[in-house]
Structure formats: structure tokens, C-alpha cells
Structure 1
Amino acid sequence: MTGLQANGKALGVAAHNTANMNTDHFVPQGATFNEARPAGTGVTLSIAARDLSAVENVGGAPSGTDPAASIVNSLVYKAGFELSAKLIQAADERLGTLIDIRA
């Protein structure tokens, strides 16, 4: 479940950055995945404004958002969300099989 939540939020960050790409003085945010504590219990997401002071305006957008990086990030987060959903589905099927065997 934490993978679904983290990837969903990260996709929201990428969408927010893309939507504000042409907004002057907009500071894009970055999403960073971290291991939840205690270890092995899932993933969390940290969202912070990117430090653009040393970064060139590669994408040409007034905000400093790189359109190519934003698209790639969106695809990665979407794939992560879908993978997490399949993992939950497989775990649910295995649990159902376990319950049927014992019945």
C-alpha cells in the first residue's frame, strides 16, 4: 500500500510541476523515495522544492522545469504505481489460496 501511496503522490508532484511549467518564478518540487522505518515495512515520499540556483534553465520554461525530465518522471511513477497494484493483487490472491487450502 505504501508503494501505491508514494507513487501516486510522486505522480501528483510531476503533474503539478508540468502544469506550472510556464509560470514565472515557480519553483518545481522534487520527489524522493525513502525506506520506511522500521526497515522493510514500505516506502515513504519526501517532497521538497528543488534548488535551482546552480541549475541552468535546460527546458526553456520560465519556471526552470525540464519538460523531458517531467515526462520521464511521470512514466516512472506510473509504472511504479502499476507494479505496486499488481503486487497487492498477487498478495491478495495468495492469501485467498491459503485460506481455501485450510478450509
Structure 2
Amino acid sequence: MSIGALNAGLSGLKAFQSALDNNANNIANASTKNYQVASVSFQEGANGGVVVNISKASEDLARQEIMGEPSNSSSTDLANELTQQLQFKAGFQISAKLIDTADEVFNSILKLQE
């Protein structure tokens, strides 16, 4: 393990924290009229890091054309949001474990050099 492992773990923590923040915002606005869900996507960043992209969902144009007006209800799917919350939480925990493991390896190496 190297400094890269620590950076990857830290990048993962930040990415999953952003995803959890977005997820909480979607859930909090589940009953807000005309609220459009913001979705999260992850991409590989420089040096093994993670880049988070958050984008708003577009209005359902088919429904708009059929009904003649946009929906006044929220586009939040609570089942989907709760499922994503569990996935993001697991990703956060894995990233934290990566940092802990890298720290243990570094400490073991330091003890060997004593």
C-alpha cells in the first residue's frame, strides 16, 4: 500500500459523503411540489480518485405532452433513494476501511524499521 491508497480512500470518503448529502436532500424534498430528483454518478478521477457528478433529472416530457402540463408532484422515488442510501453508506464504510488498513500497513513497516 502507498500514499495512493490513502488518497483513494480519502477520495472515496468525499465522494460517498457527497452522494449521501444529495440522497438526503432528495428524501427531504420527497413531498416538495415540482421537485426534480438530483442523481449521482461516479467517474474515475486522476491518480485513482473518484469524481462525483450530480445532475437534476429532466421533466418527464411525455407526461407533460399527454397531460398538457408538468407534474406538480415530486419525482422522488423513496424506495430507490433508500436503496441508494444503503449503497452509498457501504461505499463510505469501505473507503474508511481502506484508510484504516493503509494506516496499519504503514505502522507495521515503521515497527520493522525500528
Task: Please give the range of the TM-score, normalised by the shorter of the 2 chains.
Answer: 0.7 to 0.9
Deviation at residue 10 of structure 1 after TM alignment = 0.0
Give the CA RMSD over aligned residues. 1.7
State the percentage of identical aligned residues.
Answer: 33
Runs of 4+ with >3 A deviation: none
> What letter matches 1:12 in structure 2?
D
* Structure 1 residue 80 corresponds to structure 2 residue 87: no
> What letter matches 2:51 in structure 1?
T
**Corresponding position of 1:27:** 36
Deviation at residue 50 of structure 1 after TM alignment = 1.3
SS of equivalent residue, structure 2 residue 48? coil
| Structure 1 unaligned blocks of 5 or more | none
Q: Tell me how far apart the structure 2 counterparts of residues 51 and 74 of structure 1 sit (CA, whole Å).
A: 22
**Corresponding position of 2:15:** 6
Equivalences for residues 14-53 of structure 1 within 5 A: 14-37=23-46, 40-53=47-60
Task: Answer with 1 or 2: which has the greater Rg.
Answer: 2
Q: 1:46-80 CA deviation, whole Å, 9 max, x = no partner?
A: 01101242587xxxx92111010000000000000
More helix by share: 2
Instruction: Give the TM-score normalised by structure 2.
Output: 0.79
Q: Tell me how far apart the structure 2 counterparts of residues 94 and 28 of structure 1 sit (CA, whole Å).
A: 41
| Structure 2 unaligned blocks of 5 or more | 1-9, 64-71
